Structure 1
Amino acid sequence: MSAKPNLTKRHQSILKATIEHYIATAEPVGSKVIAQGYNLNVSSSTIRNVMGRLEAAGLLYQPHTSAGRIPSDFGYRLYVDRLLIHNETIAKKLEQSLQQKLPKEKVSSFETLIQRSTKILSALSGYIALITFPQSPSDTLRHIQLVQVASGQIMLILVTDSYQTESILIESSSFIAEQDQLDDEMITEELQILSNFLNHKLKGKALSAIASLNWQEIDREFEHYTDFLQILSQKINSHLKPSDDKPIVVHGIAEALRQPEFSQLKQVQTLLYLLEEEQKQLWSVIFALPDHEHTDKKITIKIGAENPLEPMRACTLISANYCIDDTPVGSVGVIGPTRMLYDNTITLVETTAEYLSDAFK
């Protein structure tokens, strides 16, 4: 369910109260609880009717016929995107607490810094904290070339400063669609002009930084290439995978597994196996370069079924990249139940990522 329903202010207030009460108690929420505990100035019967409509919209559901209602993944998504109110007072307290506990002195190694930061993040959030080791910002770009090939494709050739070559095939239709009718000779000329422009703009940049560039901000002379350049960014992004030969530091499993959502042994076992034995699968989930549409987006939130890995489908993952010289090199993440204190956790993850970015300068 992807379309977000149009909710009245009353619907939004009752949904928000229901979700926040469930987050606090882990108990299905009834209309009487909302009527008595929240100053919404509506009757219990009205709240019950609204809850029925929210259930019909897929935002709430009843685990049992006689029980109250609990949020669905879709309900949590709408809550995070539209109803969550950032509490600056609590955020400041969390940031201060985190900064007081994080090491202020220079530490002897990346490993020590990552280990300490993960442990503190887990303790303050109450969930499973994960931090990846910093990856090399990768080779910088020495030369870039776009070449039309006979099969109706364009080859993007990247040459790094260490003379390693990466070749990426792109459908030529995505380039030709932005032009008038061009013959092969004209396409070759256009590709050379664009190659010259890209070399001027990108030479000396890290490949991982190129993958997250916002092409909406290119020179006006080349703005008609915007869509094609965004496709290039996506291709580079999907082609360049971070190294997964280093472990992800994990802390807080024991504490997090005390949550009622993790009461089923089989579910716990699959999550533990993923965290301890299959960390390579986690890399593409936790450490992801931002796409061109969200280059200014600091936090990534994957709720329930939005997570691509089956053991995480009952969980929420909140993550943020940390950087060296504005290039993403690693990620800070927290895994917990979908019944999560979202505002607090977002603040902690974001603050930890900013701290590591500063520490690695």
Structure 2
Amino acid sequence: MALDDRKLDVLRAIVEDYVATQEPVGSRALVERHNLRVSPATVRNDMAVLEEEGYLRQPHTSAGRVPTDKGYRLFVDKLSRIKPLTPAERRAIERFLAGAVDLDDVVHRTVRLLAQLTRQVAIVQYPSLSRSRVRHLELISISTTRLMVVMITDTGRVEQRLVDVPGPVGADDVVELRATMNEALVGRPLAEAPVLVQGFHEQVRPELSGAMASLSTVLLETLVERAEERVTIAGTANLARGNVLDFAGSLRPVLEALEEEVILLKLFGQVRQTTAHVSIGDENEIVDLRSTSVVATGYGPRDTMVGGLGVLGPTRMDYPGTIATVRAVARYLGDVLEGS
């Protein structure tokens, strides 16, 4: 059945109090702490209805109530206010990320910052090569028969490989090869690169077709077909910070799941845009994480999603504050990548 506004207010108050105190919440405490404008008896009746509908549970006889996964889901869905970050918090995020020197530094600063601000486990996916565009291709002569190709993407990724070519290549030849590759690839999504690269050897003088074929092979094999996805994690110790009871003895499977990079990447599988996505308890596709909640979002320059980030913690989570922080950090990370 649909809940009226008063029962929603009671549920909201119970969630907020339980997150803050970690203790089951009673009717008298609710009336004293929140301006519900009804008697404790009315609140008790509302709590009984919420329990019957599966939004609350009573962990012990004569104890107060705590939210269920269903209760947290309704709380999140009905969330009318996201805790705004203070100007000081926003400035701190901006300054911390702006000081990064390269992409690795950006990602590691981001994951540490997210863990510190939310006091949860933070996970950041590196910008996906498949979702990136080529910003520049550099070609450097190492010797007459060895070149280094360096690809820089619009998300700050830098990939470099050594290429052995079949015959001597002079300085003017290197300039021509570099210009041909840049003209075809700069500004193009890497997803389109394979088709473009395959035609490179036809766009240069016959005497350079062998060198270009070698370059094309390296680009296809190492920069396109094996474009690895990576994640980094911080704040695992936060799981043990007064939260052990929330995991009902299942903390070990959670820790083991967090060690698997494939599982971490899968957490972002449902994230298709730059708005926050919240998975609560049994909603998580990964069985070992069903005692947790995940708040995740996409990020990228100019609202183009190139990766995901988020936090994982107990279902007893400060959802308004966590959602606001995840969204803010993602937005600043996108700004950093756009200006890199």
> Which of the five TM-score ranges fits, normalised by the shorter chain?
0.5 to 0.7
**Do structure 1's residue 96 and structure 2's residue 79 form an aligned pair?**
no
Superposition deviation, residue 300 in structure 1: 0.7
Superposition deviation, residue 336 in structure 1: 1.0
Counterpart of 1:271 (choices 237, 249, 254) is 254
Task: Find the aligned partners of 1:45 and 1:243 in 2 and give their Cα distance.
Answer: 64
* Larger Rg over CA atoms: 2
Q: Deviations over 1:168-212 (max 9, x none)?
A: xxxxxxxxxxxxxxxxxxxxxxxxxxxxxxxxxxxx76769xxxx
Task: Find the aligned partners of 2:309 and 2:106 in 1 and give their Cα distance.
Answer: 13
Superposition deviation, residue 272 in structure 1: 1.2
Task: Find the aligned partners of 1:244 and 1:35 in 2 and give their Cα distance.
Answer: 57
Which residue of 1 is the match for residue 70 of structure 2?
74
Structure-to-structure mapping, 1:235-314, within 5 angstroms: 245-261=228-244, 267-276=250-259, 278-290=260-272, 298-314=275-291
Structure 2 unmatched ranges of 5 or more: 134-187, 193-224
Which residue of 1 is the match for residue 5 of structure 2?
9
**Do structure 1's residue 132 and structure 2's residue 125 form an aligned pair?**
yes
1:310–1:94 Cα change, 3 Å: farther
Structural RMSD (CA) = 2.6
1:358–1:348 Cα change, 3 Å: same
TM-score, structure 1 as length reference: 0.64
Q: Is the 8 A contact 1:137 1:328 kept in 2?
A: no
1:320–1:91 Cα change, 3 Å: farther
Q: Is the 8 A contact 1:137 1:324 kept in 2?
A: no
**Do structure 1's residue 345 and structure 2's residue 322 form an aligned pair?**
yes
Which residue of 1 is the match for residue 185 of structure 2?
none
Q: Is the 8 A contact 1:129 1:334 kept in 2?
A: yes
Q: Deviations over 1:270-329 (max 9, x none)?
A: 1111112x1202212225452xxxx5x611110111111122111110011112454322
**Do structure 1's residue 119 and structure 2's residue 115 form an aligned pair?**
no
**Do structure 1's residue 37 and structure 2's residue 20 form an aligned pair?**
no
| AA partner of residue 112 (structure 2) | K
Task: Find the aligned partners of 1:330 and 1:205 in 2 and give their Cα distance.
Answer: 15
Q: Is the 8 A contact 1:133 1:248 kept in 2?
A: yes
Q: Deviations over 1:76-134 (max 9, x none)?
A: 1111111442233x45454334224x232351x32111111111111111111110111
Superposition deviation, residue 73 in structure 1: 0.8
Task: Find the aligned partners of 2:66 and 2:332 in 1 and give their Cα distance.
Answer: 36
TM-score, structure 2 as length reference: 0.67
1:320–1:139 Cα change, 3 Å: closer
| AA partner of residue 280 (structure 1) | V
Which residue of 1 is the match for residue 15 of structure 2?
19
Q: Is the 8 A contact 2:57 2:68 kept in 1?
A: yes
Equivalent residue pairs, number? 252
Task: Find the aligned partners of 1:338 and 1:321 in 2 and give their Cα distance.
Answer: 21
Q: Aligned with 1:103: secondary structure?
A: helix
Which residue of 2 is the match for residue 318 of structure 1?
295
| AA partner of residue 320 (structure 1) | T
Q: Is the 8 A contact 1:84 1:343 kept in 2?
A: no
Counterpart of 2:60 (choices 64, 78, 92) is 64
